A and B are shown apart, each in its own frame.
Chain A
Amino acid sequence: MRYALTWVTLLCMLAPAAPCAEEAGRDEVPVTRLKLQPAPEPVPALKYRLLPGVLEMEPGNAATLYNWAVAKITGGQNGNTKELLELLEMPIEDLTIARVRAARAPHGRGPLFRLLERAGRREDCDWDLELSVGPALDLPSITDQRKLATIAVLTARMEIVWGNCEEAVQMLQTPLAMARHMAQGAALIHGLVGMQVARLALDRVEDLAQAPGSPNLYWALTALPRPLIDMRDPVETERHMFDLWLPDLRDPESSRLGPEGWREMIEQFPSLGGGSGPLRRKLTPSLVALWMYTDAKNHLIERGRDPDQVEAMPVFQMVAIYVMDGWNRVMDDQFKWFYVPYAEGEEVIAEAQASFTETLDQKNDILPAMLMPALYGTYSQMAGLDRQVAALRCIEAVRLYAALHDGELPASLSEIKEVPVPLNPMTGESFQYEVVGETATLSAPLGPHERAKDGIRYELTIAK
């Protein structure tokens, strides 16, 4: 009973989330000021890489080693995630070993980092999730993995503080590899953590761009795969979470469950409904079925089933077919947008999500009303990560130009001829670039539904 109440309470909180930023205000995009160290192209050009190369990869399951690493950070000895993130967010000139020690954060390339490094070189990553349990899916170590990845990024950052830039570049391979592993065959939350880890690791390129003697990472960034974090697996897992959990509902028409089997299945359920879906009140499953019975029968007959067959069908099965038809229709209607390239689909997917609840006008939309994940944020973040890579490539192109032109900023991005200057992948157009005095501003316009805090705006100067 306690669990049923908990579930019902949580259900009330569930609603298809409109894009968080929609009305979050068009606040100012945060500005990042960088004093760039000029640096020419490395020789050989691909001397530095931000992910392990194919010849460095080993067969095996990386998740085994990541889980092993989790066992190494038990006992509260290794800081907490919030403090670790603060150490990553503070300006690098304020980051000191004293602060790192105060946060009990590990640092240095010790056994823990080396284990993560080895994991990053594994070809596969099977998190072995128990997807068949549906909502009871336990993610026991995702928060630990997030913490481990944060530790890895911090370890690389400390090398930058100590002036070991080449070492730091090589160490960044580990959290970036871990970020990609997190999105492999996993649930949505894993992918979201992977994207955050990738962002935290890429932010270190900003640190490196300002560090004396730091190599130019233009080609290292260019060699990164696109998309950097492919959310296809996590999104498809979410689309089929329901099917994986209740196999009889995957194809209820073919199910061999008899009337008693269906009855037993639904008698376990807590109340359904409430919120913004087609059923405004909470009802027990039996009453929900009563509520939709006539529609279910008509739906099956309209689909071409013989009316006599429909009459003879167990009632619960009939309603299950009706509900699952609604589920598949609505889910595919929302998930299809995920596959559209961002520049083409941004407007449409945002609108589709914003108007989602208005489209729920049929009784068999009850499940999507409760369980549809808000996809726009994921879609936008995935594209945003690739935009971050492109913007950093622009910055490295500026460093390269400055190294060859006596420390001068290019007057425009088109003045840079030594390397191709990337376009903004979210718009398909150039980044905005403007020089005023000795400061250049590099920015990208916010998408109509994008949150200001996710935007980018750099103010670049050249260190003399």
Chain B
Amino acid sequence: MTHAPTGRITPRLLGALFERHAAALALFARQWCDWPEDVVQQAFLSLASQKHMPERPTCWLYTAVRNAAVSASRSAGRRRRREAAVAEAKDPWFIQSYESRLDSEAAVKALRALPAEQREVIVARIWGGLTFEHVGEVTGCSSSAAHRRYRAGMTALRERLGIQCLTNTTTER
């Protein structure tokens, strides 16, 4: 991933980051909280209030969202204990479209069944497009640890979703 140019944060840059990352950031936040849009909005506003564009704005955004979402989840956890009920995700994680090769509900169910540390690495990598190094930076582990968690999570997903070697094509990422 190329680094965005540092310097002032212009509306054009902010808008471009928003268009590129907002949906994936909301997905990332959904792992922890039911109102991911608040957390994501706040992250973008915090970014806008920085004096200079961070060197790795995507990492910065993912880190900000993660911190805020985990914090929101702790508050929600206290409320849910009062209600003695487990809240289900209120909004869909994905939109089902003609291009989807997986059933989105099955995918969500399988993702939610993963341990949190594996799930967040997978979400950040696949939908956020982060490298393992950057995933490690966001989640606070080494890149090799991130890679290990990724493989373990994907193996579990493959079994849950029953993915076989379906195609002969490979796509370079």
Contact = CB atoms under 8 A, between A and B. Distances in A.
Any A–B CB pair closer than 8 Å: yes
B79 A60 contact: no
Interface residues of A, number: 10
Contact of A59 (B41, B42, B72): B72
Interface residues of B, number: 11
Nearest to B72: A59
B41 A64 contact: yes
Interface in A407-422: none
A60 B35 contact: yes
Interface string B57-101: 000000000000000100110110001000000000000000000
A98 interface: no
A59 B75 contact: yes
A58 interface: yes
A352 B75 CA distance: 43
Nearest to B83: A55
B83 A59 contact: no
Residue among A58, A59, A123 having the largest count of chain B Cβ atoms under 10 Å: A59
Interface in A41-100: 55, 57-61, 64-65, 68
Interface string A122-135: 01000000000000
Contacts of B78: 59
A64 B72 contact: no
A57 B38 CA distance: 16
A65 B34 CA distance: 15
B42 A64 contact: yes
Interface secondary structure of B, over-half rule: helix
A60 B38 contact: yes
A57 B83 CA distance: 12
Contacts of A123: 75, 79
Interface string B30-55: 00001100100110000000000000
B79 A64 contact: no
Given A59-B75, A59-B79, A68 B41 contact: yes
B59 to A, nearest CB: 23
Contacts of A55: 83
B38 A65 contact: yes
Contacts of B83: 55
A292 to B, nearest CB: 40
Contacts of B79: 57-59, 123
Contacts of B38: 60-61, 64-65
A55 B84 CA distance: 12
A61 B76 CA distance: 12
A221 B96 CA distance: 47
A58 B41 contact: no
Contacts of A68: 41
Contacts of A64: 38, 41-42
A79 B34 CA distance: 34
Interface string A114-127: 00000000010000
Nearest to A57: B79
B26 to A, nearest CB: 15
B51 to A, nearest CB: 16
Contacts of A59: 72, 75-76, 78-79
B143 to A, nearest CB: 33
Contacts of A61: 38
Given A59-B79, A60-B35, A60-B72, 7 more contacts: A57-B79, A59-B75, A59-B78, A64-B42, A68-B41, A123-B75, A123-B79
23 contacts: A55-B83, A57-B79, A58-B34, A58-B35, A58-B76, A58-B79, A59-B72, A59-B75, A59-B76, A59-B78, A59-B79, A60-B35, A60-B38, A60-B72, A60-B75, A61-B38, A64-B38, A64-B41, A64-B42, A65-B38, A68-B41, A123-B75, A123-B79
Interface of B: 34-35, 38, 41-42, 72, 75-76, 78-79, 83
